[in-house]
Amino acid sequence: MMTEQQRISAFTSDQARAKFLATYTQTFDRLWPAAHESLDVVTSFGSTRVYRSGRTDGTPVVLLSGAGGNSLMWHRHIAQLSRARPVIAIDTVGEPGASDQRVPIGTGRELAGWLDEVLTTLGVTRAHLVGCSYGGWIAVQNALHVPGRAATVTLLDPAGFGRVTGRFMMWVIAGGLAGLTHAPLRRRLARPLRNATLRDDDLMRLAAVTMGFRRRLPAPPRSPTTTCAGSPCRPWPCSASGARCTTRSRWRVGSGRSCPPLASRSFPVLATTCRCTARTSSPSGPSSSSSRPKPWPDPVIRETAPSTGSDHLPVAARSRL
């Protein structure tokens, strides 16, 4: 049985942490495109690094990175997003970044509480939550456990939407091995492996010094057996707003793939937010399509009226699992 200290994400040594932070700082200074304010927010679970960019008025876009990542994963999108509204990029506590976890996190509810503390300290009452992979699961947990905080939720390759298959694990392993090769070969492998990060030399240098990090965050639970049945998916009732689920991916409406683990709650997708569309033809993950990978679209963010009850949340699901 692990001790409390062993249940906290941390670097394996002070030297590993110092090496990572030096590379992280250099990479951030080189890649971050917009003027920003850097803040360290104290929470019950440790210090959290936050970067604020863009305008000072309006509902902010809050960016949550995937497992093993940090705010730098959004560097290509910050400039465009920050032109129209405030943008808050967060280094998730417990992930390799500038945040520093001090207390174990064992459940999705605790992650939701951590994010709630961060946004409360920043004075954010409503936010457009945008989460990639594990960050998508955190966004959903926050929407479930802190009703009224999220104005919209946009999910990119969200974790917790289905089983972690052997094919997915092989993709992860292949990407890791490709990252250890020389740069010219690594860049060439990006296309067949459908992993655009392999082309980004700066982020790959940062990934190399992340090896000394021990991650101890909870894994999303397996999806329930509720399935789509040819009509709009029950936990994601797009028809409530006049929209309809469409897809060109392996996750097809009516195919029997599991829906997200949202218990008995019903979260409508608002037509003013986006089309409820699942897409897999991207360089970020395995796909059955032979078409050329397409880049991620920028999140479509529009203001919506606050919901009148805790059981309604506008959600935009763009999944490529």
Which of 19-28, 136-145, 201-210, 292-301 is the least confident region? 292-301
The yes-or-no verdict on residue 279 having pLDDT over 70 is no
Phi and psi at residue 71, to the nearest 5°: -60, -25
Grade residue 163 by pLDDT with cuts at 50, 70 and 90. Answer: confident
pLDDT of residue 222: 67
Q: Model confidence over 83-131: pLDDT tens digits?
A: 989 999 999 999 999 999 999 999 999 999 999 999 999 999 999 999 9
pLDDT of residue 280: 25
Q: Give the Cα separation of 148 and 313 in Å (integer).
A: 8
The yes-or-no verdict on residue 214 having pLDDT over 90 is yes
Q: Give the Cα separation of 301 and 58 in Å (integer).
A: 12
Mean pLDDT of the 167-195 span: 94
The yes-or-no verdict on residue 148 having pLDDT over 80 is yes
The yes-or-no verdict on residue 245 having pLDDT over 80 is no
Q: What is the pTM of this model?
A: 0.74
pLDDT of residue 162: 76
Delimit the domains of the chain by residue range. Answer: 5-318
Which of 52-61, 99-108, 266-275 is the least confident region? 266-275
CATH of 5-318, one of 3.40.50.1820, 3.30.2010.30, 3.20.20.140, 3.30.70.100: 3.40.50.1820
Grade residue 267 by pLDDT with cuts at 50, 70 and 90. Answer: very low
pLDDT of residue 223: 54
